[in-house]
Amino acid sequence: HKRVEEFLEKHDIEYDLVAEDVQELLNREQRRNVEHGRRVKRDSNSRATVNFEHFWTLAEIYDYLDELAAAYNGLVRVSEIGRTHEDRPIKAITISTRGTIDQTRPIVFMDGGIHAREWAGVMSVMYMIHEYVEHSEDYAEQLSNTDYVIVPVANPDGYVYTHEQNRLWRKNRSPGNVLCYGVDLNRNFPFMWDRTTTECTNNFAGHAASSENETKALIAAMDQYKAAIRMYLAVHTYGEMILWPWGYDFLHAPNAEDLQRLGEQARDALVAAGGPEYEVGNSADVLYTATGATDDYAYSLGVPYS
């Protein structure tokens, strides 16, 4: 990293060295996950061994969802909303005190793991599921007037690939040319889709809008519930940001003030709970422009809080 440091210093760019050896961090993470896997195999009941001190595999996540559905059948339903290119199921969980969602209550729709390497986003979503279901008495007010539709792993093939082959993989695993696999699913949605990148880039948007099985599955699920969806949360990692539309260009959503206020309330709640202070703002202003993303697509459907 010496050349990078020299470049930063030459241009008077302030920086902090967070990790001397990223590969060693990845190796350490892998060793922890392997050891946890051995412990889990000694106890077939994943609800009895559930903890959030490691990153779960796709099999552990799906087993846990299915066990929740069996144990809390008056609150939880698990369904398959699609299949991936490698024929893995894409699972969604619905949480409703009425058992099934009839769309007479507002719905919060949530996705995690659309970028395969963002494991912390997946686990954040799984923790929310765990809390709402296994500690539902603590959230009685929310659950009495709001239903939830959650896709915790929106990119199963990519997620498995990061566990088994390449920890830093971002895209799905659909075949491209002979050298490069995968599409960035968070660039593949039909609202303002734009193919401006090539197959070998990390943010390749696909050869056409909605070309990917995972994209189609999320679109179909949103379409099923769109009459009642009032909030769409796309959970990503690392940036410590709460972002709102539009993201495809430097344009603010019509209810920008409301979105900003809500984001600031969420930020303040995180700080009060001991978390970091997230930056709140328009997606393009705070981060960068991105076309074909889930949050813009949901907002284009009329979801007021995305």
State whether the Cα torsion 156-275-22-14 is positive or negative: positive
Residue 286 host element (H or E)? helix 283-286
Mean pLDDT of the chain: 92
Residue among 189, 305, 290, 300 nearest 242 (CA): 305
pLDDT tens for 142-165 read 999 999 999 999 999 999 999 999
pLDDT of residue 42: 46
Tally the C-alpha atoms within 13 A of residue 141's C-alpha that lie toward its C-beta. 0
Q: For residue 72, give Cα distances in angstroms to 83, 96, 132.
A: 25, 11, 11
Structural domains of the chain sorted by starting position, each given as residue range(s) with its CATH number in brackets: 1-42 (no CATH), 54-300 (3.40.630.10)
User: For residues 10 and 66, which has the higher predicted lDDT (pLDDT)?
Assistant: 66
pLDDT of residue 49: 63
Contacts (Cβ under 8 Å, ≥6 apart) of 31: none
pLDDT of residue 7: 85
Residue 116 has pLDDT above 50, yes or no: yes
Residue 250 has pLDDT above 90, yes or no: yes
pLDDT tens for 74-97 read 999 999 999 999 999 999 999 999
Residue 14 has pLDDT above 90, yes or no: no
Residue among 127, 110, 136, 118 nearest 61 (CA): 127
Report how far residue 36's alpha carbon sits from residue 32's, in angstroms, rounded to the nearest whole number: 6
Give the confidence band of 296 by pLDDT, cuts at 50, 70, 90. Answer: very high
pLDDT of residue 123: 97
Report how far residue 287's alpha carbon sits from residue 89's, in angstroms, rounded to the nearest whole number: 32
Residue 43 has pLDDT above 70, yes or no: no
Residue 39 has pLDDT above 60, yes or no: no
The three-class DSSP label of residue 254 is: coil
Contacts (Cβ under 8 Å, ≥6 apart) of 103: 225, 227, 228
The tokens describing 112, both together, are: 């995690």
Residue 178 has pLDDT above 80, yes or no: no
Residue 196 has pLDDT above 50, yes or no: yes
Residue 28 has pLDDT above 90, yes or no: no
pLDDT of residue 179: 82
Report how far residue 111's alpha carbon sits from residue 298's, in angstroms, rounded to the nearest whole number: 11
pLDDT of residue 20: 78
Q: How do 241-244 and 279-282 pair as beta strands?
A: parallel
Amino acid making up residue 109:
F
Residue 47 has pLDDT above 60, yes or no: yes
Kindly report the pTM of this predicted structure.
Answer: 0.91
What are φ and ψ of residue 150, in 5° steps?
A: -130, 130
User: For residues 69 and 46, which has the higher predicted lDDT (pLDDT)?
Assistant: 69
- Percent above pLDDT 90 for the chain: 78
Contacts (Cβ under 8 Å, ≥6 apart) of 157: 84, 85, 86, 88, 116, 172, 173, 174
